[in-house]
Structure 1
């Protein structure tokens, strides 16, 4: 019984497949403002750490995470993300990267490039809620 409950909570084995790559989605991500600073001129930064609650099981050996887990980060923030414990870094930013990535990916899936103003507004709302909006607009 315990094994059946465990499999209900977390699949065993963890799903393994080649990550989906979507060049048009990554171009869309690069059109958005940075989720940390609000600045434009971003890179597509993949969230690598696992969050099974969001059905993200991390990245495979030698593979980046699926493109649905990409977020727009300024080059400086992207380097900073990679130079620290990624999970702790996102916590310090006050951002749930999995939730935000799924929100942006969902909007793009439904509206294509027409989702850009909605996603930019969502990012700006996040910047306001974390007290970063005015700090980086100067």
Structure 2
């Protein structure tokens, strides 16, 4: 007699929203913009789902979880909201879910000072890899 495993959905949607992590969005505001490197930023939530990265989208009338917030300067944040979000992130050469998970992991794993240093280094490395590292004069 053979046993059959009942099929399950590949990415079941969680039944409750993630909890807010006190201080995370404040910490995001201390980092440079992931697109321009500018130092004055807003917390930009990534809205589109990526179950592979643990992001199931947002409910109607709600924001995406804070874990999927990235630091963007005001101009880029406005641009992110003014077009198809998947197209926006593709146009700037960033996988927002991977970067958001990296930043959240650094914030979760290290003391704030070290997390800030490591996150800033990661952001600036990404800017350099995409040939967008600003000069000191433009910051």
Q: TM-score, normalised by structure 2?
A: 0.88
Displacement of 1:33: 0.0
In structure 1, stretches of 5+ residues that fail to align are: none
Find the aligned partners of 1:42 and 1:90 in 2 and give their Cα distance. Answer: 17
Contact 1:46 1:65 in 2 (8 A): yes
Instruction: Count matched residues.
Output: 134
In structure 2, stretches of 5+ residues that fail to align are: none
1:27 aligned onto 2:13: no
Q: Which residue of 2 aligns with 1:79?
A: 78
Find the aligned partners of 1:73 and 1:107 in 2 and give their Cα distance. Answer: 18
Contact 1:35 1:72 in 2 (8 A): yes
RMSD, aligned CA: 1.9
Find the aligned partners of 1:50 and 1:111 in 2 and give their Cα distance. Answer: 27
Runs of 4+ with >3 A deviation: 134-138
Q: Which residue of 1 aligns with 2:44?
A: 45
Larger radius of gyration: 2
Within 5 Å, which residues of 2 pair with 1:55-74? 55-74=54-73
Find the aligned partners of 1:93 and 1:135 in 2 and give their Cα distance. Answer: 18
Q: Which residue of 1 aligns with 2:95?
A: 96
Q: 1:111 to 1:30 in 2, by over 3 A?
A: same
Structure number with higher helix proportion = 1
| 3-state SS of paired residue (1:98) | helix
Find the aligned partners of 2:49 and 2:136 in 1 and give their Cα distance. Answer: 29
Find the aligned partners of 1:49 and 1:69 in 2 and give their Cα distance. Answer: 10
